[in-house]
Amino acid sequence: MTNAAAVKTQRQPQTRSRFYQIMSLVAIGIVIAAFAPSIVNPVSRVAPLTLLVTTHAIVFFAWLLLFLVQTTLVTAGRIAVHRRLGITAIGLAAIMIPVGYASAIAMARRGFDLSGDLNIQADPLLPLVFQLGDLLSFATLVTAALLYRRRAEIHKRLMLMCIVGTLMAAPLAHFTGHNLPSTPTAFVPLFAIVLFTPAIYDRIQSGRFHPVSLWGGIILFAWGNIRAVVIGPSEVWHKFARWLIS
């Protein structure tokens, strides 16, 4: 192998690692763009923040920061530290799921979102199908990522799908509701762009779609639409949701 070829081979993994680092920054940027307006200017808020919502925001944002740290460690070649810190992810995920569930139930019982971006008053039980469905997807992806932690190419893509496929739905919904209230359907293409960016990157970078990025994106996109069109509007769901919040 020539020196030029060796250098190119060494740079490819680092370039791919930087992509995950960039995606973590993009995710953090989306969250800030979605929630900062109602925090900076609370005039449009329907109600002040509660302790539960504040806790929810802190633990979920901590996950994004942890992902940024982990991708930065991989980019820097500090894999041993990355693996030790990964234990933190297990504990944090164990906190996120019950906090996320409690926050979703509290919003459904309240009948409105505190920021006023989502306008759920007409049917406060409908958003619950997305929130609980995303929590289920998050738990499934995190579990799968931990099981595949020794297979880096699968593990890192599963962890990224946790971010783009489950944690970005709510911020994008708030961003759309706040900035594009007359075009709520803008959420769908925005979510699709974020969701399928990893698959597109894999295709450009390696010349092929990786199954996790491609099929993960397809399944999560289909799962969101099934909830929106079939499950959420159904009387069966509304009966079940009323039981949950009772």
Is 44 contained in some domain?
A: yes
Structure confidence at residue 182 as a pLDDT band (50, 70, 90): confident
Structure confidence at residue 196 as a pLDDT band (50, 70, 90): very high
Per-chain mean pLDDT for the chain: 92
- Count of the separate structural domains present in the chain: 1
Structure confidence at residue 33 as a pLDDT band (50, 70, 90): very high
Is 223 contained in some domain?
A: yes
Instruction: Report the C-alpha gap between 64 and 62 in whole angstroms.
Output: 5
- Region 171-195: mean pLDDT is 94
Question: What residues contact 208, with CB distance under 8 A and at least 6 apart?
Answer: 202
pTM confidence score: 0.90
Range in 14-18, 46-50, 101-105, 238-242 with the lowest mean pLDDT: 14-18
> Which residue has tokens 């019982």?
109
- Region 40-56: mean pLDDT is 89
pLDDT surpassing 60 at residue 9: no
Is 3 contained in some domain?
A: no
- Region 41-47: mean pLDDT is 83
Structure confidence at residue 45 as a pLDDT band (50, 70, 90): confident
pLDDT at 39: 84
> Which residue has tokens 């709510």?
170
CB–CB of 227/53 below 8 Å? Answer: no
> Which residue has tokens 């961003």?
175
Domain interval for residue 197: 11-245
Amino acid residing at 245: I
Instruction: Report the C-alpha gap between 63 and 86 in whole angstroms.
Output: 11
- Region 23-34: mean pLDDT is 96
pLDDT at 79: 92
pLDDT at 209: 96
Structural tokens at position 29: 């940027």
Structural tokens at position 31: 């969250």
pLDDT surpassing 80 at residue 151: yes
Structural tokens at position 41: 């200017």
Structure confidence at residue 237 as a pLDDT band (50, 70, 90): very high
Structure confidence at residue 203 as a pLDDT band (50, 70, 90): very high
Instruction: Report the C-alpha gap between 113 and 211 in whole angstroms.
Output: 36
How many percent of the chain have pLDDT more than 90? 82
Is 5 contained in some domain?
A: no
Taking CA atoms, 74 is separated from 69, 84, 100, 130, 229, in Å, by 9, 12, 28, 32, 40
Is 239 contained in some domain?
A: yes
pLDDT at 3: 46
Amino acid residing at 35: F
